[in-house]
Amino acid sequence: MKMDIPADLIRFLQRSTRVAALTGAGVSQESGLRTFRDSQDGIWKQYRPEDLASPEAFARDPKLVWDWYAWRREAIKGVRPNPGHHALVEIEKKIPEFTLITQNVDGLHRMAGSAKILELHGNIQRVRCSECGTFTETWGDDTESVPCCESCGGILRPDVVWFGENLPRAELEAAIQAARNCDVFFSIGTSGAVQPAASLAFAAHNKGAVLVEINLDPTPLTPKADFFLHGKSGEILPELVRMVWGTDGGL
């Protein structure tokens, strides 16, 4: 599908050396994963975050929370990156300082081949002890109770950030740094509803970066965006790579 990428943006990206991109659940939508807040299909239409994605929920019913993440891991098993993920790999190759910041826990950016990724909300494929923090490489997902840590006996939990928890400090600091120092900041497939990730785009904007938003719907960020590219990231991003660098990189 032919997309309209503004000529000003194409010229600007051809000269840019520092670019940051924040992605959300929307970039994985075309891989077949559900987003969180879509009106029809969003995960949070069916479940309440506080029932499943909070330390309180885990304390109340660890097995319920464990099983929900085991179910999501299972759902991700057959899922592959889409052209939007692949286009971001191409952008990383073209821009000398490119920082990919994601709120997604699905690991699809890594699977696509992006090398440098700041995973702000963790990764669903990693598991650690809820007591001592030791990471575990192998565990059973279909056990009768939540599996325990081999070092201390504490129960295991997914290495994701739950509501009310802090983001990993090193990743957050690197993301803030990238947002404050970039020429162009992309906000792609995220509703901008969850802080502090959502504030990164504003931090970039305040420092004079050109703000580019790619989304199916307007968000609270849209009025500030220099360019709002309306549509699917899996269609817009590959077209943008073609228009800016004249390559499709096999997309």
Work out the burial of residue 74: count CB atoms within 10 Å of its CB; fewer than 13 is exposed, 13-18 middle, 19 or more buried.
exposed
**Is residue 87 near ligand OAD by the rule CB under 6 A?**
no
Positions 129 through 168 that interact with ligand OAD (CB under 6 A): 161, 163
Local structure of residue 222 (DSSP, 8 states): G
**Is residue 101 near ligand OAD by the rule CB under 6 A?**
no
- Span interacting with ligand OAD, options 57-65, 110-118, 168-176, 216-224, rule CB under 6 A: 216-224
**Contact 77/32 with Cβ under 8 angstroms?**
no
Catalytic residue among 85, 86, 109, 121: 121
**Is residue 95 near ligand OAD by the rule CB under 6 A?**
no
**Contact 92/98 with Cβ under 8 angstroms?**
yes
Query: Among 3, 18, 37, 61, which residue sits at the site for ligand OAD (rule: CB under 6 A)?
Result: 37
**Is residue 238 near ligand OAD by the rule CB under 6 A?**
no
* Of residues 42 and 147, the one with the C-beta less far from ligand OAD: 42
> Measuring CA to CA, how many Å separate 145 from each of 62, 80, 204, 244?
9, 30, 45, 52
**Is residue 189 near ligand OAD by the rule CB under 6 A?**
yes
Residues 6+ apart with CB under 8 A from 212: 9, 184, 185, 186, 187, 225, 226, 227, 229
Pairing of strands 156-160, 210-215: unpaired
**Is residue 224 near ligand OAD by the rule CB under 6 A?**
no
Separation between Cα atoms, residue 232 and residue 33, nearest integer Å = 14
121 noted as active-site residue? yes
Q: Which residues bind ligand OAD (CB under 6 A)?
A: 24-26, 29-30, 35-37, 42, 49, 53, 103, 121, 161, 163, 189-191, 193-194, 214-217, 219, 232-234
Kindly list the catalytic residues.
121
